[in-house]
Amino acid sequence: MRIIPAIDIINGQCVRLSKGDYNTKKVYNENPLEIAKQFEAHGIEHLHLVDLDGAKASHIVNHKVLEAIATKTTLKIDFGGGLKTDEDLKIAFESGANQITGGSIAVKNSDVFKSWIEKFGADKIILGADANNEKIAVSGWLEESDEDLIPFIQGYQKEGIEYVICTDIAKDGMLQGPSFDLYEKILKECPKVKLIASGGISTFDELPRLKELGCEGTIVGKAIYENKISLKQLENYIVNFK
């Protein structure tokens, strides 16, 4: 199981929110590149980079941060937040993203999202399936849609999607543990999905449990920044499970 630390960006700074609420913003570092280099120094190979300004603006904003991290580290970056057009994707990939994540666009403009899968390949496009009470949420979680989570994922699996990041919004940034039951349900009902668990990770012991369930990756955010999980622990985990 891949360990994927998260860096969320507002105004070029590394921040975290609780339940996606912009009013709960907490700045952890003014230089995201510094944080990325720390991850890299501890053997971490992957990074989940979210452009929260982009999510609000509905177009890519913080591509310079992406470019800085991509050119000055060897981290494989998946990038999301406000990607709506082919031009946004072009900028993201040219700035160094290995993969992009599309969430709202997959709900609101499925034709565009499907064209991305076709154009760039399923290995480059991640479906962002963020949910509240198993209903898909969109627009930086500012609104809930009528889409049910499991059929939503299944529908895109038929279109070729392999990678899915699922965040249970009720858990995100709350440090109360991830949605094990939800992930188990997804893995049972969506066979072959490469599921990346996100939201609520609070202790190191939760990681082996997610691996056991069959998650392909786990995104860890606030638990790192609040020192609930140390980078040394993650480094040891990565070394032991290689």
Percent of the chain whose pLDDT exceeds 90: 80
What's the domain count of the chain?
A: 1
- pLDDT tens digits for range 47-74: 999 999 998 899 999 999 999 999 999 9
Residue-number span of the structural domain to which 24 is assigned: 2-240
**pLDDT bracket for residue 116 (50, 70, 90):** very high
Q: Is 130 a catalytic residue?
A: yes
Instruction: Extract the runs of DSSP E, i.e. beta strands, from the chain.
Output: 2-10, 13-18, 21-29, 46-51, 76-80, 99-102, 125-132, 135-138, 143-148, 163-168, 194-198, 217-220
pLDDT of residue 144: 67
Q: What is the CATH number of the domain that holds 122?
A: 3.20.20.70
- pLDDT tens digits for range 159-199: 999 999 998 887 766 778 999 999 999 999 999 999 999 98
**pLDDT bracket for residue 98 (50, 70, 90):** very high
Contacts of 231 (CB under 8 A, 6+ apart): 38, 39, 42, 44, 224
**pLDDT bracket for residue 93 (50, 70, 90):** very high
pLDDT of residue 21: 81
Contacts of 111 (CB under 8 A, 6+ apart): none
Confidence check: pLDDT of 142 > 80: no
**pLDDT bracket for residue 204 (50, 70, 90):** very high
pLDDT of residue 138: 77
Q: What angle do CA 224, 213, 123 make, to 5 degrees?
A: 75
pLDDT of residue 168: 86
Confidence check: pLDDT of 19 > 80: no
- Catalytic-labelled residue, pool 51, 88, 130, 172: 130
Confidence check: pLDDT of 212 > 90: yes
Q: Is 8 a catalytic residue?
A: yes
pLDDT of residue 137: 82
Q: How many CB atoms lie within 10 A of CB 26?
A: 13
**pLDDT bracket for residue 242 (50, 70, 90):** low
Phi and psi at residue 40, in whole multiples of 5°? -60, -40
pLDDT of residue 208: 96
**pLDDT bracket for residue 128 (50, 70, 90):** very high
- Catalytic-labelled residue, pool 8, 78, 88, 168: 8
Confidence check: pLDDT of 223 > 70: yes
Mean pLDDT for the stretch of residues 101-129: 96
Confidence check: pLDDT of 219 > 90: yes
Q: Looking at this protein, which amino acid is placed at residue 76?
A: K
pLDDT of residue 143: 63
The larger pLDDT score, comparing residue 242 to residue 35, is at: 35
pLDDT of residue 240: 87
Residue 236 token pair: 């040891």
pLDDT of residue 20: 78
